[in-house]
Structure 1
Amino acid sequence: MNIFIEKIKDPVERQEVEFVESKGVGHPDSICDDVCEICGKALATFYKKKFKTVLHYNIDKALLVAGSARPKFKGGKINSPINLIIAGRATDKVGSEKLPVKKLIADTAKKYLKRFKLARFNIIVDIKSGAENLTQITKKKKPVANDTSFGASHFPFSRTEQLVLNARNHLNSQGFRRMFRAAGQDIKVMGIRTKDRTELTIAIAFIGKHIKDMNDYIVTKERIAEHLISKFGVNVKINTLDDITGDENS
């Protein structure tokens, strides 16, 4: 093992070591982020259409609780669904009128999750009414902030960042899925640059019904690695914790 210690003072491309990670659309973190984002947009659209303004809401918390499955070559079985808990606050009453906030969020999440055709989800919406001092903000004529949150970003991407982003987007693409039907949507890409040498370590969930046996899995994984090496020109490692001497649970 090589250990590098350096001060973080120069642009990242001048550092000797660089780590970059990105998660695919089927990764639990991505699902939670995307569901909160799309549910928030649906709420804003609903408020704007009905009241001509966006009422207070804060849908920014989700928890994906893993289900259980019995993996098997040529098939497998889902024993229990994934629980997706969506939490936050939203204006659910104006005057004496109750607003269908929970139903709107549940329906929006359900529609979004249909893209994951092989997964089963149980959607739990735990949304409470907004605090009175925050719900009053939308009544002010002068625009004001309702939170102290802020975001930070940077541009342009380093070469390693762009590589990881391109690899993730390719793995998420329909073209890649047509080439490798066994590759699932739950992926994570990590790029590691050590001086001038860069490699990708990738975790890919495989779909059991498209894998005949352990040998077929090994061959498919090698084909994907060769495809990525050819496309991106760097060394690629996939599912590095595999025990190929075991069975489909390894």
Structure 2
Amino acid sequence: MDVTTTAGLTAASALLGVEVVERKGAGHPDTLADGTAEAISRAYSRYCLEEFGAILHHNTDKTSLLGGAADVRFGHSELTAPVQVLVNGRITAALGDHAIPVADIVTTAARDYLAGALPLLDVARWVDVQPRLTQASSPGAVSDPGAAAREASRQRWFAPRTLDDLAERHRMFSNDTSAGVAYWPLGIAEQLALHVEEQLTSEAFRAEHPYYGTDIKLMVVRHGPRVQLTACVPQIARETPDLDTYITRRTQARDLITHLASAIAPEHHLTVSVNTRDDDSRPELYLTATGSSIESGDEGVVGRGNRANGLISMLRPWSAEGVSGKNPVYHVGKLYNLAAAEAARRLHEETGLDCAVALVSQSGRDLTDPWQAIVQSSGPNPIGNARVRQVIADVMGDLGTLREQLLDGKLATA
């Protein structure tokens, strides 16, 4: 592992005079796509562990959702066309003669996840799951009559005869040349975006305010002590009898957000706007049947929404990798982003400095030995290479714990 450390991190939270931060909420179509892909990966992984004692090769990180259609009016709503879940990717369909019920696993996991995320969506009637999965290997499976006798041949990547055909059981290596990027700590605008959205989509808030949906999107812009926040907050049509009620609750949402934000940033001057596209005279309003725009033509795609830390922070370092749905065993696009976040957190706790970490993989290299590790920190002096090397080695040596957290659903990927 080549380690590079530099000082003078310009994107340190304490030095950023301006922040531009977006957060797509729990019911946003892109967040739903991420969550669906990850739920399918978890369900498939659990099946494999229970049946075989190992996770077979799979990836569902190209999953997308196509919005349905809905008839929405004050006091009434109904869907008129289903949400389509296009599960694009590759999944091992059998281990030797043991066939895996892939379609059932995928369909059940997708519907169960969406039922939890959107309780008002009748998933049995209005969610159409379309598994579009193959077992084709990536480039590297060169036809060779002698290869059949060789252990862990690429030709067996998605068609293993036994667990011995899983290459990672012989040597755990990176599946791709990629980079995982993360930073710590969070800035004020980032804390605001996370905290406000999490509160507004929490079970407790939804129980108290059943007329708000979860397809909430926040954009937070901070200029020094001045914070401007724009929020899109849907309302549930059947809980909203008329325009006056909608307007009253829109104002209430603005006041609630202002209160939540003030608790995070009490010394900042806050301006909050809600549903700025509304036209009360027409009316054109953010009124929904299920609380999400996925019901009415919007689309969601894995990797288009929040990064692994739950944010889209425009002026910070970040990776474009879609983390959700990737195999948790060896996919560096997942593991290195999450490992970089843990390394940045540990380095900050040890030094008190703002830290940004990039872990760069090299396809075929040992998974726990990144090709490059780059750490930028605030302050006049870089963190010592030996300390960085030890922290990263510790994090990479603990990937098993990270995998357990992913399989238990305790570690977010978006």
TM-score, structure 2 normalization: 0.55
Amino acid at match of 1:125: P
1:146 Cα deviation from its structure 2 partner: 2.3
Match of 1:200 among 194, 211, 229: 229
1:222 Cα deviation from its structure 2 partner: 0.3
Q: Does residue 112 of structure 2 align to residue 111 of structure 1?
A: yes
Q: Identify the residue that residue 39 of structure 2 maps to in structure 1.
A: 38
**What CA distance in whole angstroms lies between the structure 1 residues aligned with 2:96 and 2:204?**
51
Whether the 8 Å CA contact 1:73–1:248 is kept in 2: the answer is: no
Q: Identify the residue that residue 240 of structure 1 maps to in structure 2.
A: 276
**What CA distance in whole angstroms lies between the structure 2 residues aligned with 1:190 and 1:165?**
11
Q: Identify the residue that residue 181 of structure 1 maps to in structure 2.
A: 210
1:74 Cα deviation from its structure 2 partner: 0.6
Q: Identify the residue that residue 227 of structure 1 maps to in structure 2.
A: 256
In proportion to residue count, which structure has more strand? 1
1:87 Cα deviation from its structure 2 partner: 1.2
Distance change in 2, residues 1:10/1:108 (3 Å): closer
Whether the 8 Å CA contact 1:180–1:224 is kept in 2: the answer is: no
1:152 Cα deviation from its structure 2 partner: 1.4
1:138 Cα deviation from its structure 2 partner: 3.5
Q: Identify the residue that residue 364 of structure 2 maps to in structure 1.
A: none
Q: Identify the residue that residue 240 of structure 2 maps to in structure 1.
A: 211
- Which sections of structure 2, spanning at least 5 residues, go unmatched? 1-8, 142-153, 159-164, 263-269, 287-414
Q: Identify the residue that residue 52 of structure 2 maps to in structure 1.
A: 51
Whether the 8 Å CA contact 2:48–2:54 is kept in 1: the answer is: yes
The C-alpha deviation readout for 1:88-132, integer Å capped at 9, x for no partner, is: 101112223322112111111111121212223211111111416
Whether the 8 Å CA contact 2:254–2:274 is kept in 1: the answer is: yes
**What CA distance in whole angstroms lies between the structure 2 residues aligned with 1:137 and 1:97?**
15
In the TM superposition, 1:1-250 aligns within 5 A as: 9-115=10-116, 116-119=118-121, 120-131=126-137, 133=154, 134-135=157-158, 136-138=165-167, 140-233=169-262, 234-247=270-283
1:16 Cα deviation from its structure 2 partner: 3.5
**What CA distance in whole angstroms lies between the structure 2 residues aligned with 1:242 and 1:225?**
14
**Mean Cα displacement is larger for which, 52-61 or 123-132?**
123-132
**What CA distance in whole angstroms lies between the structure 1 residues aligned with 2:185 and 2:168?**
39
Whether the 8 Å CA contact 1:91–1:130 is kept in 2: the answer is: no
Whether the 8 Å CA contact 1:72–1:248 is kept in 2: the answer is: no
Whether the 8 Å CA contact 1:40–1:59 is kept in 2: the answer is: yes
SS in 1 for 2:79: strand
Whether the 8 Å CA contact 1:190–1:200 is kept in 2: the answer is: yes
SS in 1 for 2:54: coil
Distance change in 2, residues 1:177/1:63 (3 Å): same
**What CA distance in whole angstroms lies between the structure 1 residues aligned with 2:29 and 2:103?**
22
Whether the 8 Å CA contact 2:233–2:253 is kept in 1: the answer is: no
**What CA distance in whole angstroms lies between the structure 2 residues aligned with 1:10 and 1:109?**
38
TM-score, structure 1 normalization: 0.89
Amino acid at match of 1:167: V
Whether the 8 Å CA contact 1:21–1:188 is kept in 2: the answer is: yes
1:198 Cα deviation from its structure 2 partner: 0.4
The C-alpha deviation readout for 1:150-175, integer Å capped at 9, x for no partner, is: 42111110111011100010111122
Q: Identify the residue that residue 381 of structure 2 maps to in structure 1.
A: none
SS in 1 for 2:182: coil
Distance change in 2, residues 1:137/1:148 (3 Å): farther
Whether the 8 Å CA contact 2:196–2:260 is kept in 1: the answer is: no
Greater than 6 Å deviation, 4+ residue runs = none
Distance change in 2, residues 1:155/1:124 (3 Å): same
Distance change in 2, residues 1:90/1:33 (3 Å): same
**What CA distance in whole angstroms lies between the structure 1 residues aligned with 2:105 and 2:259?**
45
**What CA distance in whole angstroms lies between the structure 2 residues aligned with 1:231 and 1:139?**
47
Q: Percent identity?
A: 28
**What CA distance in whole angstroms lies between the structure 2 residues aligned with 1:180 and 1:112?**
22
Give the structure, 1 or 2, with the largest relative contact order (CA under 8 Å, sep 6 or more).
Answer: 2
- Which sections of structure 1, spanning at least 5 residues, go unmatched? 1-7
Q: How many residues align?
A: 243
SS in 1 for 2:198: helix
SS in 1 for 2:210: coil
1:242 Cα deviation from its structure 2 partner: 0.5
**Mean Cα displacement is larger for which, 174-183 or 207-216?**
174-183
**Mean Cα displacement is larger for which, 234-243 or 10-19?**
10-19
Whether the 8 Å CA contact 2:279–2:285 is kept in 1: the answer is: no
